[in-house]
Structure 1
Amino acid sequence: MENDRKLMQFYFLTSPEKSTHYHQNLEILYVLKGEMEIQIDDALYILKNGDFIVVNANKSHAITVTREMFGARFEIDFHLLAEYMGTMQLMFWCNTAADKNDAYQDMRVLLDRILERYFEKEDKGSLHLQSLYFETLHLLTSNFMVKADDVRVNLENSQDRVRVRQIQNYIQANYQGQISLNDLAEKLYLSNAYLSKYVKKHLGLTFLEYLNNVRLFHAVDELIYTNKNITRIALDNGFPTSAAFTKAFRDIHGESPSEYRKKIQNVNQEPEPTPEQEEKNRQRIQEYLKLRENRQEPVVKHFQGCEADAAAYESRDMLWNKAVNVGEAYCILQSAVQNQLREIQRETGMVYARIWNLLTRENCFDEREGYNFRKLDLVLDFLVDIQMKPYIELGYKPELFLYTPERCLRQEEREDGIYPYDTFCEIIRTLCMHLVNRYGADEVESWYFEFWNDPQLQMTGEDGEYYRYFEVIYRTFKQILPEVRVGGAGLILGYETPVARDIFKIWKQRACRPDFISFCSFQYIALVESGMRYGRKSIDGHYMKNQVAILREMMEEVDFQVPEIHIDEWNFTVSNRNILNDSCEQGAYIMKTCMEMEGCVDFMAYWHGLDIYSEYYDSGSILNGDSGMISRDGIKKPSFYAFQFLGRLQQYVMAKDENCMVTTNGRGRYVIASHNYKKLSSRYVFTEEDEIQIGDLEQFLEDMEPLELRFSLKNMKNGNYLVKIYYVNQDNGNAQELWRKLEFAKGLAKDEIEYLKKRAVPTMEMKTVEVTDGVLELESVLLAQEIRLLDIQYQYRM
């Protein structure tokens, strides 16, 4: 029995009903026809044609199906997969009935290919079938595997993270022996009392409870998959006696090990299908595949055509030059920040600058001394002078520099925090009057005011303090400025999606509803299980679009409508030390995302504008992986030029597809922005973000194939057109590559920095194209992660 284990097996699912059960192996349940209800713990999901779900290890679940339902059950051996992955922490969030991800379509394609080969499993086709199993598991682990999210379970620094990992590793390595809290305390040079409290705080269990959980986890596997007797299983997994094993087992599972073994083996035993059943299943699979044979398998694009009609275009509200995050308001008083903001406004056309922490005791308010808006006036005066409008976050946001989502670095904590409610009311009233008197009602009504969901204000509770504070801001500003826009609450896409529905319901019942609802988008997904939050990076190529679609569906379900939806912070990573931020990948990602989200939301503010915001003791290099558009030394990155190219697009859109957008001013000028964005690969998922090396960047991308774009612009006026071509790629205009040629030297002299500034610019080419038949044909070949702008101008003649 022990030697006959397979990594993945497949069964048909036709029974009308299956009682509540659980098992250690993972399952993929795939509905081919009809409908299935599955209850997993307290959650109920309805799966229809083409839906599938992963059931995690030891999750209590019950399946109810209609008699017409036909489906497939893929069983994955937990321990064999754990050996391949090098971890026992295998948990997945993969559920097409409750989530959106481009990888779901890829999974369907693979599952269908397994169905096609199923009846060849005993002959030469079995080798191909096994390869499909491995490919499916690779896709599953790359896109849907989650892990304990240390930031969200209060591991606030790297020392805690390392220590918890030491505790877990020690217990995993020694659980089969007789270990104690004292043994571990001696190994870590800690006292028993301190370690006992530490384990309880960070693991949520006592040392003995956690140890017994690990032992039981391994023992359950042996109960199901071996013929060992109960005593041998107990001793082999560290329990001193079979009685101790039975007691611990009964405390968790509510029954004895022998009762559990008998029940699970009966439930999981799959009867051999009769020849008649096999033939019926074959016909059902063939019918299903025939209905889906129009499905295209994903292929890598190397050529793409784009047609546009110069006589057919429409005006659209462009997102890309809406806003950029600057940081704490008073950093704008630095001359370097002012100079770089001027460049951003002048060359990209950004309209709003998002700032926060205006109302600090240090710069604005003291309970005894009163108000002093002098420094705030200097900040706001500067923004108004350079024609950037403030997007003001009125809450207090702590400084937090992230190397990875699990490892953060905090600046010195200040005492600002949240003001008492009565004090906050007075501050908001005084601030509102000051802004109107100084800048005028028309100007202030064009700004945005936001209030984020500080965890201390408990927004998820019906009587949460957040709503009282928000309503003070809303009512105070609306009383004087009825057209001003006030909103919140900066919910994090993917992480706070599970609580969003409840928040929408609560806000719907309140007297003051927001003028806009705001979200942050960094490509991570979270799953809450038994009070613990688990997270993972997402390599979904359309992450933001899919997550916004989920939230819009939630809002529609609870009938919670707001005038505007904002993405007030967005990037593919939250890390301030991820070198992909400095690379051409970032430029292509920005251009792809802006084009894709046009029409999906009302407002976007890129995270963030300047590397100066996250400068710290370790930021002495020319480039250090921060997500600013301009380095601290003023060197412009590919991300800057992505916004510059987008900012040059014209107001009328003629055509748009996955890789390009064609625009015109309606008077003989045509501007095309295009990109060859490449998705991040599975290696990125399993690598710490601050450990990526510049020389390995290509290994973190799905492929490096160039893309040929062919444009055909019809109904063009005959004559000559001057075509200006600007592009940034790995070898042109890329500050990261230029720095590599300087051997990544640190401490560069002023003239060397100036050299980088002058060389890190887009390459420009020009050519004249003659149109004689009303059609302008152009071709562009873009390297991987290249961004390109074509500026086409009709040449008038007298």
Structure 2
Amino acid sequence: MKRHWHQTLELILNIRGDVKIVVNEEAFHLKSGDIILINSNEIHELYSDDAVMIALQIKPELLKDIVIDTKKLYFDCNSVRSNKPDRFRSIKRVIAQIIKYNMDTNELIDLKNASLVYELIFELCVNFLSDKKDAQQYTEETLDRLSGILGYINSNYNEQITLNELAEKEFLSVPYLSKFFKQSMGISYSDYIKQVRLHHAVIDLYNDTLTIDNVASKNGFPNTRSFVTAFREKYNELPSTWRKKNVGKALGSIEATKESSVNYLHNEPLSYYKDIANFIEQYAELESTIALADDKTPKYSTNISADVSKFKRKLYHSFKTFTGVSRAKEILTVPVQEALKLVQKEIGFTYIKMHSILDDDMMVYNETSSGSPIYNFRLIENVFDFLLSINLKPLVQFSFMPKKLASNSEKTVFYTEINTSPPIDMDKWKQLIHALTNHLIKRYGRKEVRSWLFCVWNEPSTSNHLFGFEKNEIFYNLYKNTYQVIKEIDSSLSFGGPAAFSTYGKSEDWFFRFLDFSITNQCKPDFITIHYYDIDLSTVKDSTMDNLYFPQIENKELCLSPTKNSFTQFIDRVKKGLQKIGFDDEKVYLTEWNSTVSHRDLMNDTCFKASYIIKNITENYDRLDSFGYWLLTDYHEEYLMNKSLFHGGLGMLAYDNIKKPSYHAFFLLNKLGDVLVESGDGYMITKREDDYQIILHNYQHYNDTYAKGIAINISYNNRYSNFTNNSKREFYIELSNIEGTYEIRHTLVNRTHGSAFDNEVRLGKTEGYHTIDELNYLKGISVPKIKIEYADSSSKSITIQTILEPHEIRLIELSKLSE
């Protein structure tokens, strides 16, 4: 930052790297953690290569009401020349709090800022007020003169202005002006104007229609030679050479890379957020836990009027089409089987999505010493036998690659090192698919298998580091050959795909290119499978996700969607795109869906996830043919198991099949009727004969900071700090044209009722193993609350008034009593 001054007080806090700052000709070197205050009208400049700093300016107007004479006000706040670092902690605390509160949107932020700024001024006055006499080293008259001189130079740099001309304009002698300028700016007049001209000339170099001669004359250089000389002095190369290297780059990039002066007003949040977050964690002294909502918690109201004699459409409850577990082998374990039995008993899904039926731990494929295939489908039989016994039909996904068939034995993912390379021999792959499919038909019958779904591979649209391949054509070939094998066996078998991976802000171009290929090559899928996660990949360097790697995911380096309506926007894009290419009638199965891909996101265990599910399903009810929440249980082998019960796993069941709030969300959805009466922001009303069901949610979106991947004041026990607007929501519901006496049953889930994680925190034993008694206790108390009341609709209307806590979900069932 070049020399400048201002009326405001400015606190500069260095939180990373080294900074040189010059104040009134005195230089200071700031290390990480150092802080300095620049008083009004002190000329200063900063230099650094890699620093991350926080600058906070206080306008003089804020001081007028609390001090007698602001002109005599002077603070000596400089940690570089102090041996008492604790003196500065209170200042850092207030700065940290100001940053934290301003990271997130809040309608009362101006009021909070005012209170914090006055607290900051108080701390400065108590600890750093100085009676230094020469506080105003530069008078306002002197600074006005300097400002006028610089303004004249910046306006006329492209003219041949001389020091003599400037001295005459300011009514000064040339020697006095030369000395004044050098003392004030730390640089001679001739060097300063040369730097100004160079700055503008660099910008013009991006315009390749200008010759070097044009650039020189356009920016006030006496001749081309003087421009070339000045440029080489600063950038160590000729202007023509630099232009060839930088053509096509963003304007100003040379200034960002070559200048060591710091522009601390330049905003690069993605690279600075972690440093700022660490600073906030260390100094802000925020509350360690977020209290439950109470009478003081703000609330807002929603009024609903519904005529129950009318209805909008029939409901098909497509959220129940798919459940999901990770790997086929896991279905052979007792915990996963118990989880599936539970969910089928209480909710009842139609299909199950899983991958890895061809992995080596399923012992499906081997070869003789001469290379002849050896098949063994015994474990696949065990998996499918169990699924059919609990009324679940499989989506038979042919994945992943047996190592004997793999073209690259080193291309693996997950803890179990499943192989994701294409087959080395396509004929052997086709023979395997043919043998397995015929075996399934023989064992389970053609009629049964025709009711199943088939596809090949998982998320081929991801990078070659994950499930994708080096070229799209490799997957196209795998898909087409597998499709043809299935259709040759029985054209009535349903074969679909491509299980494309989608996220917030990510183009669906890959998905639609695949569909174009399928049309052109006569292998159009019978149904479509897609995945969606509410993560933001705008920070990933390219659309092929080449640097999206699983360590990133588990270290929580990925960002989340900044908008609460991103899921609806995704469905809009998909449906519009499918309609455009004539895929209106095909079923679209969302077989994986969640707010994150991380198995370590602590929000996964909280009430947030329940309201997220209710919000997004009710707002998009039946718009897709499935909403396959990923996934059913935290028992999986994609990563090493975490010993903590609530470690942020994606499952809606924790270890030992303890129900999370997300499970309760699907349980309540399952009680909705088959006819839609009304729906809107925060609610949905359905009907079944003379009974009515109302499902409500008070969804709160996480703050912008958390969306950017920065968790401030988040710990195992404290998981609700990342919400800015924790407001209650009051619903006034009036049902008209309803007759009879009704039992009104409220079933609700919030932090007090039905949240196993919150109950574990209250239990006082977290982040470790539990005894059987403790687990049974948690299961017993982590159930939704039920409250029953009665109403008589003598006036042909019933009014219900209820208040939902932040993140709460609630089902209200009106059951008509016998007359």
Aligned match of 1:497? 508
Aligned counterpart, 1:308: 306
Amino acid paired to 1:348: I
Q: 1:503, CA displacement in angstroms?
A: 2.8
Q: What is the deviation of 1:636?
A: 0.6
Give the match's secondary structure for 2:569. helix
The residue type equivalent to 2:381 in the other structure is D
Taking the aligned partners of 1:690 and 1:473, their CA distance within structure 2 comes to 48
* CA distance 1:301–1:570, change in 2 (3 Å): farther
Please tell me whether residue 739 in structure 1 is matched to residue 760 in structure 2.
Answer: yes
Name the counterpart of 1:597: 620
3-state SS in 2 of match to 1:320: helix
In the alignment, is the contact (CA less than 8 A) between 1:727 and 1:787 conserved in 2? Answer: yes
Establish whether residue 509 from structure 1 lines up as the match of residue 520 from structure 2: yes
Equivalent residue of 2:600, what SS? coil
Task: Please give the alpha-carbon distance, in whole angstroms, between the structure 2 residues aligned to 1:712 and 1:556.
Answer: 38
Quick one: distance in 1 between partners of 2:544 and 2:421? Answer: 26
Partner of 1:121: none
Q: How does 1:322-333 map to 2 (within 5 A)?
A: 322-333=321-332
Q: Could you tell me which of 644, 647, 656 is aligned with 1:633?
A: 656
Question: 1:13-32 to 2 correspondence within 5 Å?
Answer: none
1:772 aligned to 782, 786, 794, which one? 794
Deviation at 1:506, TM superposition (A): 2.3
SS of structure 2 residue aligned to 1:366: strand
Whether 2:807 is the aligned partner of 1:785: answer: yes
1:221 to 1:777, Cα distance in 2 relative to 1, 3 A: farther
Range with bigger deviation, 483-492 or 552-561: 552-561
Which residue in the other structure is 1:338 paired with? 337
The amino acid of 2:606's aligned partner reads: S
Deviations 1:673-696 (A, max 9, x none): 111111121011233469942555
The answer as to 2:368 corresponding to 1:378 is no
**Structure-1 separation of matches of 2:564 and 2:355:** 31
TM-score (norm: length of structure 1): 0.62
Q: Which residue of 1 aligns with 2:429?
A: 424
Q: Distance in 1 between matches of 2:349 and 2:470?
A: 34
Of residues 241, 245, 248, the one that matches 1:251 is 245
Q: Deviations over 1:372-428 (max 9, x none)?
A: 111111111111111111122212289xxxxxxxxx994142457443311111111
1:389 to 390, 393, 405: 393
In 2: Cα distance, 1:381 partner to 1:562 partner: 32
CA distance 1:246–1:468, change in 2 (3 Å): closer
- 1:309–1:713 contact (8 Å) kept in structure 2: yes
Determine helix, strand or coil for the equivalent of 2:748.
strand
Once the 2 structures are TM-superposed, how far is the Cα of residue 532 of structure 1 from its aligned partner? 8.1
1:751 to partner: Cα distance: 0.5
- CA change 1:777–1:397 in 2 (3 A) is farther
Amino acid in structure 2 at the alignment position of 1:543: S
What pairs with 1:405-484 in structure 2 (closer than 5 Å)? 410-414=414-418, 417-419=421-423, 420-451=425-456, 452-454=458-460, 464-484=473-493
Identity %: 23
Please report how far the alpha carbon of residue 302 of structure 1 lies from its aligned counterpart in structure 2 after TM superposition: 1.6
1:739 is displaced (CA, Å) by 1.1
The superposition leaves residues 428-475 of structure 1 with CA deviations (integer Å, 9 ceiling, x where unpaired) of: 11111111122122222222212235356978967x132332233333
When residues 536 and 506 of structure 1 are mapped into structure 2, their CA distance, relative to the original with a 3 A threshold, is farther
- 308-317 or 730-739, which deviates more: 308-317
Paired residue for 2:593?
Answer: 570
Corresponding residue of 1:359:
358
Residue 341 (structure 1) shift: 0.9
Which SS does the other structure have where 2:796 is aligned? coil
Deviation at 1:743, TM superposition (A): 2.8
Report the AA paired with residue 326 of structure 2: G
Matches within 5 A, 1:621-660: 621-660=644-683
**Cα distance, 1:320 vs structure 2:** 1.7
Aligned to 1:580: 603
Give the 3 Å change call, closer, same or farther, for CA 609–749 of structure 1 in structure 2: same
Cα distance in structure 2, aligned partners of 1:482 and 1:791: 45
Query: How far apart are 1:796 and its partner, in Å?
Result: 0.2
Q: Tell me the CA shift for residue 795 of structure 1.
A: 0.8
SS at structure 2 position matched to 1:521:
strand
- Quote the residue 1:347 is aligned against: 346
Q: In structure 1, which of residues 707, 711, 725 is the aligned counterpart of residue 733 of structure 2?
A: 711
Q: 1:783 to 1:333 in 2, by over 3 A?
A: same
Q: In the alignment, is the contact (CA less than 8 A) between 2:712 and 2:722 conserved in 1? A: no
**Following the alignment from structure 2 to structure 1, what is the Cα–Cα distance between the partners of residues 243 and 755?**
59
Q: Distance in 2 between matches of 1:532 and 1:364?
A: 31
Equivalent residue letter for 1:391: L
Give deviations 1:607-632, integer Å, cap 9, x for gaps.
10000015754611121000101111
CA contact (8 A) 1:353 1:389 kept: yes
Structure 1 residues 43-62: aligned runs within 5 Å: none
CA contact (8 A) 2:560 2:709 kept: no
What CA distance in whole angstroms lies between the structure 2 residues aligned with 1:343 and 1:448? 23
Query: Counterpart in 2 of 1:52?
Result: none
| Residue pairs, 1:743-758, within 5 angstroms | 743-745=764-766, 746-758=768-780
Please state how far the C-alpha of 1:545 moved relative to its aligned partner.
Answer: 1.6
CA distance in 2, matches of 1:378, 1:753: 30
1:232-251 matches, cutoff 5 A? 241-243=236-238, 247-251=241-245
- Do residues 521 (structure 1) and 532 (structure 2) align? yes
Structure 1 segments unaligned to the other structure (5+ residues): 7-78, 88-134, 140-218, 262-299, 399-407
How many aligned residue pairs are there?
545
2:702 to 680, 684, 706: 680
Indicate if the aligned counterparts of 2:683 and 2:696 stay in contact, CA closer than 8 A: yes
Closer/same/farther in 2, CA of residues 695 and 360 from structure 1, 3 Å limit? closer
Secondary structure of the equivalent of 1:731? coil
Are the structure 2 counterparts of residues 254 and 796 from structure 1 closer, same or farther at C-alpha, using a change threshold of 3 Å?
Answer: closer
| TM-score, scaled relative to structure 2 | 0.60
Deviating more after overlay: 648-657 vs 693-702: 693-702
Change beyond 3 A, Cα 1:532–1:789: closer
Deviation at 1:508, TM superposition (A): 2.6
- Alignment correspondent of 1:156: none
In the alignment, the residues of structure 2 paired with residue 346 and residue 340 of structure 1 have an alpha-carbon distance, to the nearest angstrom, of 10
Q: CA deviation at 1:329?
A: 0.7
Bigger radius of gyration: 2
Distance (whole Å) between structure 1 residues aligned to residue 712 and residue 377 of structure 2? 39
Q: Shift in Å at residue 507 of structure 1?
A: 2.6
**In the alignment, structure 1 residue 546 sits paired with structure 2 residue 569:** yes
The one-letter amino acid paired with 2:772 is K
Partner deviation per Cα, 1:242-275 (whole Å, 9 max, x = no partner): 44x76344322289x99x99xxxxxxxxxxxxxx
Amino acid at match of 2:681: E
**Take 2:791 and 2:102, find their aligned partners in 1: how far apart are those partners?**
49
Q: Which amino acid aligns with 1:740?
A: V
What amino acid sits opposite 1:374 in the alignment? R
